[in-house]
Amino acid sequence: MRVLVLGSGAKDHAIAWWFSQSRLINGLFVAPGNVGTQSIATNLAIDPSDPKQVYEACSTHGIDFVFVGTEAPLFTGVIDYLNERGIDTFGAPSRALKLEGDRNFSRMFTDRHNIPTPTHALFDDEQKLSEYLKRHEGERFVVKSNAIAPSRVMIDSSDYHSLMEFSKNILATSPIILEEHLNGLPITVTLFLDNKGYLALPTSSDYMKAEEGGLPTGGMGSICPVPLQEEVSQALVDTIIEPTLFGLKAERMAYKGVLTISVIITKRGPILVDYHVRFNDPAAQAFVPLIKTDIVDILNAMKHDTLSSITLEASTKSTVALVVASEGYPEKPIIGKDLEPMPASLMLNTFEGAPRYYFGGVQEIEGKLVTTGGRCVTVVGVGYNIMNANKNAYKGVKHVHFEGAWFRKDIGDRFFEN
């Protein structure tokens, strides 16, 4: 199998690395890729969101399978375009995209199938939103764009002016969803789907803010797996996973690909807050190092609708993923900073016990490593438990140096503090 992975982020580097470990591929390409993927695959300088460019690359390089784990190519129709031309793909087709791309539809879907979600309301009018917030002064709400938004951007606040200011920017182009704030543990559930069942990957917990109570980001860290009580795990299956898969079949949206479910474990049980029809970042960087099953074996099972018969082989260890970001991120990241050279063995992720380094906004320009985005490197510590993995992640981050680099200091702490 000759594989093309579409994307350039740390998540895409992690997925490409997973493919690079397979015994069943004889060609690996990434478009457009980054400095991390160029050492394990052939980077292709094409627009991954342009269906014609992707198809031409497949024809030129003899690629017979395209893996789309990131959002942009999904929403420009790459999957359908390639499928119509006989190229196998991994990713959600257009009929399933509204599950992520239209939050109001998603909420109506969950209502129809009795899936627990936060109380919510759709607003497309600034005045009506203002009146509602004034009637509920002092209550804490979450505001999200109704349409797909990069980096899961949202605000979680009880301040009227902050909620209105954030909403005004979105209302210029899209309605907003206003939801109740939920207290609890956020977890990310990642599923491979086929027509007859699913395969669950290790569950993670993501840190989505720049700091505790700070600005929302695309994700600053993750831990995996999450220690959940057996009754909570069963409730996830009974109240969210199984009803979702039933609903997808009943409404003719079932597909072969990945479904990521963002959940908050509350005192009243698991509550779904978002669907994503692709992998999440940094959850993917956290679970990939733990999986021992060949990804191509998984994809072959998906092709033949036998996913539910696979027993996922995963390490008993834990991971802590730590994102190193540029100064000014998430509002106005300062890019173009030189990343100091790292030992080749670390960049190649060749040492079994060493932290893994997955690159995002970093490219090689004129022989130098240069930052090109807000989230630059994800350092993943692996250990015999979360505390040990946390220690290894923070040791590993010392090898990442560029002007203005910053990262959260508390990733994983809540899982082992008294």
Peptide bond into 282 cis (omega under 30): yes
Q: What is the pLDDT of residue 418?
A: 41
pLDDT above 90: residue 44: yes
Q: Band of the pLDDT at 151, cuts 50, 70, 90?
A: very low
Q: What share of the chain is helix, strand, coil (3-state, %, to 5)?
A: 35, 30, 40
pLDDT above 90: residue 70: no
pLDDT above 80: residue 153: no
**What is the rounded CA–CA span in Å between residue 337 and residue 368?**
10
Q: What is the pLDDT of residue 149?
A: 58
Is 78:68 a contact under the CB 8 Å cutoff?
yes
Q: Average pLDDT, stretch 313-333?
A: 96
* Number of residues in the chain: 418
Fold of 119-180: Dna Ligase; domain 1 (3.30.1490)
Q: What is the pLDDT of residue 150?
A: 52
Peptide bond into 330 cis (omega under 30): yes
361-383 tens-digit pLDDT: 999 999 899 999 999 999 999 99
Looking at 3.40.50.920, 3.30.470.10, 3.30.930.10, 3.30.470.20, the CATH number of the domain 185-309 comes to 3.30.470.20
Q: What is the pLDDT of residue 289?
A: 96
Strand order in the sheet with 375-383: 205-209, 216-224, 318-325, 375-383, 356-359
Fold of 318-415: Glycinamide Ribonucleotide Synthetase; Chain A, domain 4 (3.90.600)
Q: What is the rounded (10 degree) CA torsion for 157, 162, 168, 170?
A: -40
Spell out the domain ranges in the chain: 2-93, 119-180, 185-309, 318-415
Q: What is the pLDDT of residue 118?
A: 96
CATH architecture of 2-93: 3-Layer(aba) Sandwich (3.40)
Which residues, other chains included, contact 127 with Cβ-Cβ below 8 Å and sequence gap of 6+?
none
228-245 tens-digit pLDDT: 999 999 999 999 999 999
Q: What is the pLDDT of residue 69?
A: 75
pLDDT above 50: residue 106: yes
pLDDT above 60: residue 116: yes
Q: What is the pLDDT of residue 91?
A: 87
For tokens 């960087």, what's the residue? 285
Q: Band of the pLDDT at 217, cuts 50, 70, 90?
A: confident
Q: What is the pLDDT of residue 152?
A: 54
Q: Average pLDDT, stretch 37-65?
A: 96
Q: Average pLDDT, stretch 26-49?
A: 96
Question: Model's pTM, two decimal places?
Answer: 0.94
